[in-house]
Amino acid sequence: MKKNTRNLLLVLGLVVILGAAVLVLVLTGGQEEGESSSASSTELISLISEEEKNLSSVKVTNENGSYIIKITEQEKESSSSSEESGSSSEAEPEMEYIYSIDGVDETVANTDRMETAAAIGLSLNATRNLGKQEKLDDFGLAEPVSTVEVTYRDGSTKTVYIGGSVAGGSGGYYVMVEGDDNVYTASCNDGLFQGSGYYVKTTMFTLQADETTGLIYATHLKLSGTEMPEPIEIEGDDSYVYHLVSPKKAEADSEEVQAIMDSLSSISATNVASPDVSEESLKKYGLDEPAGVIEFTVKDQGSYKLSVTAKNEDGTRYALLDGTKAIFIINDSDVSTWLGRTVLSLQSTLNLMPMIQNIKTMTLTVDGKEYAFRLEREEDPESSTEDNKAYTYKVFNKDGKELDYEENFKHFYRSFITNYIIEDYREMPEGDPYVTCTYTYFDSDETNSIAFYKVSDRRYCVVEDGDNVKGLIDPTYLERAVEYLELLNNGEEVPEVY
């Protein structure tokens, strides 16, 4: 064969081969066999596909126990109303499905979680088919982490076995379906690995602030429990002022009490220990003798009672809210504002201190010596308004001598009322008081008194209105006030108190 002819045939052969290759690419879409297999492996594989109307129950068994999510079918109220009106008498009634678990009370049931977990009985799609595997231990399926038994309304069943999580952080699990020897990978709802407590709502209560004051105001508050030094009872009046009523009567520190109420605006559990609130369960979790109990009533929002246990090793506490059927787990910070409080920490440390402009007379005795001050007032037309009258004041001692009001009397008065309670004390002191003071007022027939009894070299006991024992004060400020009293009565300069 001539050389030129041979070369021509070689070129024609190459053209034929290239043409065949192009044809193959066109017919296969440009994919090789391996690529085609890889692409098909990403398609979802349907293991379960059912309609909700066919689902009857889903039983879940895992290390936390076993429970059954029941699905009840009922006609929607709106559908029933339409049929009664005759607007859709020929149409099939619209149905709705109610999810429940025995032992989880409907008042605390999180039905959304139940519905989401039970959805495995409606749809389960695998991402990969790993085929039949001899060593199920490698996939956590020899002893499944969770077993899900689905029952349908026609009596048929399907069981899904869920093993370990898929390596690589894909979020999937190894699964098998009864009647199928293959192992698959698929996504599974978190609830399928939890106990029945997972289906309890964790929001225990939420309180609304008063629209006028912006406060969550309690009309009644009681603290008790084994971690309380003693039970404490507080009441709130219509003026938004709190008062201690037990174990002693005194004005409460309203800011401290309000801080407690603010901390109760919303309490949510971190988890649920058990939906069982039987006596046996309460004893198991330590709620038969709670460490703390807070009972309170909020106007127009009802009464609440929250009981908590001693602190767990992880810093949480078990909690029970009256009226709900679940034992919750809450953080210690949810109770830190009230648990363990003493009477003194909730009592106002201030003593009797009338508004100075209201005082008409002030009569004092110091170790048997009497001092009396009489005040007069006259309306100041330049400073008065239609709604608010202003006055100028004069003060006279027992002998009728006029004293300086604006500086000396005010300085003395400020020193006299600056005696703060620093220690709790409840017994009525014996003997005569060291200092007494009785007030009368311009616009009231009421009288008030305060007395200071020496109970030790370091403490005086304060008693208001004859029998109301307030507590103990440091003698420093009272002794200073006595010095200033003598200066005032003599018409001498009284230092200002800072």
Q: Which of 59-62's residues contact partners 24+ apart within 8 Å by CB, and which partners?
A: 59/148, 59/149, 59/150, 59/151, 60/117, 60/146, 60/147, 60/148, 60/191, 60/192, 61/146, 61/147, 61/148, 61/149, 62/145, 62/146, 62/147, 62/192, 62/193, 62/194, 62/195
Q: Which tens digits make up the pLDDT trace of 3-19? A: 343 343 333 344 334 44
How far, in Å, are 63, 71, 152, 180, 249 from residue 160 at the CA level? 16, 18, 14, 10, 65
Q: Which tens digits make up the pLDDT trace of 355-373? A: 999 999 999 999 999 999 9
C-alpha–C-alpha distance, residues 66 and 480, integer Å: 74
Do residues 441 and 375 touch, judged by C-beta distance below 8 A? no
Q: Taking Cα atoms as reference points, which of 101, 99, 78, 98 lies closest to residue 88? A: 78
Q: Which tens digits make up the pLDDT trace of 253-268? A: 999 999 999 999 999 9
- On the question of pLDDT at 31 being above 50, the answer is no
- On the question of pLDDT at 91 being above 90, the answer is no
Do residues 313 and 256 touch, judged by C-beta distance below 8 A? no
Q: What is the mean pLDDT of residues 310-335?
A: 95
- On the question of pLDDT at 379 being above 80, the answer is yes
- On the question of pLDDT at 242 being above 50, the answer is yes
C-alpha–C-alpha distance, residues 144 and 177, integer Å: 12
- On the question of pLDDT at 410 being above 90, the answer is yes
Residue % of the chain over a pLDDT of 70: 88
Q: Is 146 helix (H, G, I), strand (E, B) or coil?
A: strand
pLDDT at 42 (0 to 100): 63
C-alpha–C-alpha distance, residues 281 and 309, integer Å: 13
Q: 292-298 and 218-224 as β-strands: parallel, antiparallel, unpaired?
A: antiparallel
Do residues 198 and 162 touch, judged by C-beta distance below 8 A? no
Choice among 61-65, 87-91, 274-278 with the minimum mean pLDDT:
87-91
C-alpha–C-alpha distance, residues 332 and 15, integer Å: 82
Where are the alpha helices (H) located in 86-182, listed in sequence order? 111-118
Residues 6+ apart with CB under 8 A from 394: 375, 376, 377, 402, 405
Tokens of 119: 């959805």
pLDDT at 84 (0 to 100): 52
pLDDT at 169 (0 to 100): 67
Do residues 68 and 101 touch, judged by C-beta distance below 8 A? yes
Do residues 285 and 269 touch, judged by C-beta distance below 8 A? no
Query: pTM of the entire structure?
Result: 0.74
Instruction: Please give the residue that has the higher pLDDT: either 219 or 40.
Output: 219
Do residues 104 and 98 touch, judged by C-beta distance below 8 A? no
C-alpha–C-alpha distance, residues 149 and 59, integer Å: 5
Residue 210 parent element (H or E)? none
459 CB-contact burial (10 Å; exposed 0-12 / middle 13-18 / buried 19+): middle
Q: Which tens digits make up the pLDDT trace of 415-446? A: 999 999 999 999 999 999 999 999 999 999 99
Do residues 338 and 306 touch, judged by C-beta distance below 8 A? no
Q: Which tens digits make up the pLDDT trace of 208-221? A: 998 888 899 999 99
Burial 99-122 (b: 16+ CB within 10 A, else e): bbbeebeeebbbbebbbebbbbbb
- On the question of pLDDT at 36 being above 80, the answer is no
Q: How confident is the model at residue 41 (pLDDT cuts 50, 70, 90)?
A: very low
Ordered strands of the 157-165 beta sheet: 45-49, 123-132, 182-186, 173-177, 157-165, 146-152, 55-62, 65-75, 95-101
Choice among 50-59, 161-170, 294-303, 481-490 with the minimum mean pLDDT:
161-170
pLDDT at 43 (0 to 100): 86
C-alpha–C-alpha distance, residues 42 and 129, integer Å: 10
- On the question of pLDDT at 171 being above 80, the answer is no
The DSSP symbol for 252 reads: B
pLDDT at 498 (0 to 100): 77
